């Protein structure tokens, strides 16, 4: 199928050609006509399948028929769970919007609000936003929802995971009832379906990927290893297999920072991207990674959402995620746009349960490949004892942090029993912190999608979906032994 046959405006076809896309991806094939029909759409599609253009292109075409946005009004709203994704979606839509003389802007938290308020004054045909900041802006009357014609929920499953649903409901209440609704999600759980029922009216359902599947172009396997030797093994593999670049996932923010230090000691230039980092630091980390200035980017799950890096051949799960669905999202960072990718998990004995859950979810067993010199020695007994010790350690650390906090706030030295001691118990404590993460995307990828039905690797993948389409761009193959 060609883009021409999708009834897209000639100006949009020109931009598509400039992007170097030769044919629509499966989600685009189905979603573009559905969105153009004006009906509500619910689409199951993973990141990396071209889903942004699948709604971006028809959205721009529909909006081009109406009057432009005035003053603080917006005509369409794309909600995303993370700042990175918001920035990236806006970057992807902008060339189409400007070709049709429309404007598109993005707002998210973690940066100053005033410049956003100023920018919103001109009105926007398309606004991409994260929910929290959008609500703030709406409360400050910086944005007018009354002219909204279309609402798009991108990565709805992640919105749900991140607890954004109350915010979304709040936003939806403020929107005009008459509007088109589009919902995109990588996974479709019961909760997501329930959410969809409350938002969409008689939607056209599109499902181009088997549920909870991993891209057919991603090779996946496990290296069993003792927990204490994970960092050593990772450094060994990075050098030995020449992984460059490599995206690494940890479960916690502190874990990410620790690993960066360790990799730096091993002469592997690395940076971390997670929710405790400032917006600037996250943007810099992502840019350095994209520009090839660092070799490893260590990310937590939330921060990694929306990272779209061309030619990302390796993703490493340094620790398995506690939520099995996150595995699917994590490895969706590689094998994007039909390219080959590798997803390697370093799994210690205490992660057996998570591994089983992941395998159940993706309906495939992950091959376990021991690495010479890193054979496991842990026993179930050792793991149990270790867990106890870790619990103790965490308790101690918490206690230490509590004491430090009290010291900083000038609490009395004898903290407990003394009568008449000042009322320290109601510590103001933790400053409010946004859970969303981010950075900007600075490159638009230019790829050609060709269908590639034979891209099923050695039975390690779960689906032989239609979405197996392959980029014609070549990159050196990086095989494992």
Q: How many CB atoms lie within 10 A of CB 367?
A: 12
In angstroms, give the least distance from the CB of 45 to ligand AMP: 7
SS3 of residue 477 by DSSP:
coil
In angstroms, give the least distance from the CB of 6 to ligand AMP: 11
Q: Nearer to ligand AMP by C-beta: 2 or 377?
A: 2
Q: What's phi and psi for 315, nearest 5 deg?
A: -125, 130
Question: Which residues, other chains included, contact 465 with Cβ-Cβ below 8 Å and sequence gap of 6+?
Answer: 26, 208, 209, 210, 213, 216
Q: Nearer to ligand AMP by C-beta: 28 or 334?
A: 28
**Within a 13 Å sphere around the CA of 113, how many CA atoms are in the beta-carbon half?**
14
Binding site for ligand AMP (CB under 6 A): 21, 24-25, 28, 47-53, 308, 336-337, 444-445, 447-449
Please spell the DSSP secondary structure of 208-228, one letter per residue. -S-TTPPPTTEEEEEEE--GG
In angstroms, give the least distance from the CB of 337 to ligand AMP: 4
Q: Identify whether the C-beta of residue 365 lies closer than 8 Å to the C-beta of residue 245.
A: no
Whether cis (ω within 30° of 0) applies to the bond prior to 311 is no
In angstroms, give the least distance from the CB of 92 to ligand AMP: 6
Question: Which residues, other chains included, contact 459 with Cβ-Cβ below 8 Å and sequence gap of 6+?
Answer: 364
Q: Which helix (H) or strand (E) holds 205?
A: strand 204-207
In angstroms, give the least distance from the CB of 23 to ligand AMP: 6
Q: Nearer to ligand AMP by C-beta: 235 or 468?
A: 468
What CA–CA distance (Å, rounded) separates 133 from 123? 17
In angstroms, give the least distance from the CB of 200 to ligand AMP: 20
In angstroms, give the least distance from the CB of 179 to ligand AMP: 22
What CA–CA distance (Å, rounded) separates 448 from 162? 33
Q: Nearer to ligand AMP by C-beta: 39 or 448?
A: 448
Q: Nearer to ligand AMP by C-beta: 51 or 83?
A: 51
Q: Nearer to ligand AMP by C-beta: 376 or 445?
A: 445
Distance, first Cα to last Cα, the chain: 38
């Amino acid at each position: 199928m060609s883009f021409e046959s999708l009834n897209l405006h000639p100006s949009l076809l020109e931009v598509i050609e400039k992007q170097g896309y030769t044919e629509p991806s499966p989600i685009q094939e189905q979603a573009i006509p559905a969105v153009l029909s004006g009906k509500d759409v619910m689409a199951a599609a993973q990141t990396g399948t071209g889903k942004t253009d699948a709604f971006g292109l028809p959205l721009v075409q529909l909006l081009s028929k109406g009057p432009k946005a005035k003053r603080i009004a917006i005509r369409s709203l794309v909600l995303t769970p993370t700042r990175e994704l918001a920035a990236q979606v806006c970057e992807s839509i902008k060339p189409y919007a400007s070709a049709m003389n429309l404007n598109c802007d993005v707002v998210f938290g973690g940066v100053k609000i005033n410049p956003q308020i100023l920018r919103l004054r001109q009105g926007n045909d398309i606004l991409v936003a994260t929910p929290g900041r959008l609500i703030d802006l709406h409360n400050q009357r910086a944005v007018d929802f009354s002219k909204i014609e279309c609402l798009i929920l991108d990565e709805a499953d992640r919105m749900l995971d991140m607890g954004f649903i109350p915010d979304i409901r709040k936003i939806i209440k403020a929107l005009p009832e008459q509007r088109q609704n589009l919902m995109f999600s990588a996974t479709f759980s019961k909760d997501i379906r329930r959410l969809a029922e409350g938002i969409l009216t008689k939607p056209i359902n599109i499902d181009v990927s088997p549920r909870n599947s991993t891209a057919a172009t991603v090779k996946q396997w496990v290296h069993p290893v003792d927990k204490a030797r994970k960092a050593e093994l990772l450094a060994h593999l990075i050098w030995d297999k020449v992984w460059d670049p490599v995206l690494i996932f940890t479960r916690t923010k502190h874990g990410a920072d620790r690993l960066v230090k360790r990799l730096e000691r091993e002469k592997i230039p690395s940076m971390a991207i997670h929710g405790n980092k400032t917006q600037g630091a996250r943007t810099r980390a992502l840019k350095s990674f994209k520009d090839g200035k660092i070799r490893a980017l260590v990310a937590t799950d939330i921060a990694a959402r929306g990272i779209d890096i061309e030619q990302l051949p390796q993703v490493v799960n340094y620790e398995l995620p506690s939520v099995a669905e996150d595995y699917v999202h994590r490895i969706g960072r590689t094998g994007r746009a039909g390219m080959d990718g590798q997803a390697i998990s370093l799994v210690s004995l205490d992660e057996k349960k998570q591994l089983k859950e992941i395998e159940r979810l993706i309906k495939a067993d992950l091959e376990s490949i021991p690495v010479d010199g890193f054979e496991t020695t842990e026993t179930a007994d050792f793991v149990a004892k270790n867990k106890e010790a870790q619990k103790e350690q965490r308790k101690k650390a918490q206690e230490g942090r509590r004491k430090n906090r009290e010291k900083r706030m000038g609490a009395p030295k004898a903290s407990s029993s003394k009568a008449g001691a000042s009322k320290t118990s109601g510590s103001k404590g933790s400053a409010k912190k946004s859970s969303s993460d981010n950075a900007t995307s600075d490159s638009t990828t230019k790829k050609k999608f060709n269908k590639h039905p034979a891209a099923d690797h050695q039975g390690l993948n779960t689906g032989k979906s239609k979405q197996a389409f392959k980029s014609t761009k070549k990159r050196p193959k990086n095989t494992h032994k």
